[in-house]
Amino acid sequence: MAPPKLDYSSSTYLTISTKIAPESILPGPSSPSSSFSQSSQGSSQGTELNTTLSYVGPVGQLPNEYIYELPGVPSSNPPAREVQDVKKWLQEKEGIKAVEVMVPQMRNRRHFEC
């Protein structure tokens, strides 16, 4: 299976480590995307969090590690306020061990000399 194509110019991606199946907490393979509205309590602005999370797939062969996409929120450093709010909201959910924002990185190529 080929790794998923990720477009960091139009979306932000999160890796989520869980103790339970992702569809028990978030949209999963049976539900490709889900919109939710969640009060972002603790936010300095106290605003409503309205966004869409889309299940992308597993992180390689790792068990209980999944990639989710926030479409329409381009990756940035530091992450956008909306990304920080979603990350905090997810970390408070029971069964989620860790949430990390994925950062695009170039792979180092090995150079062999003959």
Kindly tell me if the per-residue pLDDT of 50 is higher than 80.
Answer: no
Q: Are 99 and 12 in contact (CB under 8 A)?
A: no
Model confidence, pTM: 0.72
Q: Specify the pLDDT at position 76.
A: 82
Amino acid (1-letter code) at residue 63: P
- Interval 48-76 mean pLDDT: 82
Residues 6+ apart with CB under 8 A from 30: 23
Report the share of the chain in percent with pLDDT over 70: 71
Paired tokens of 84: 């920080």
Written as one string, the DSSP assignment of 35-87 is EEEEE-TT-SS--EEEEEEEEEEESTT-TTEEEEEEET----SSPPHHHHHHH
Paired tokens of 28: 């999963």
Amino acid (1-letter code) at residue 67: I
DSSP tag of 3:
P
Beta pairing, strands 96-101 & 33-39: unpaired
- The residue whose two tokens read 């605003």 is 47
Kindly tell me if the per-residue pLDDT of 41 is higher than 70.
Answer: no
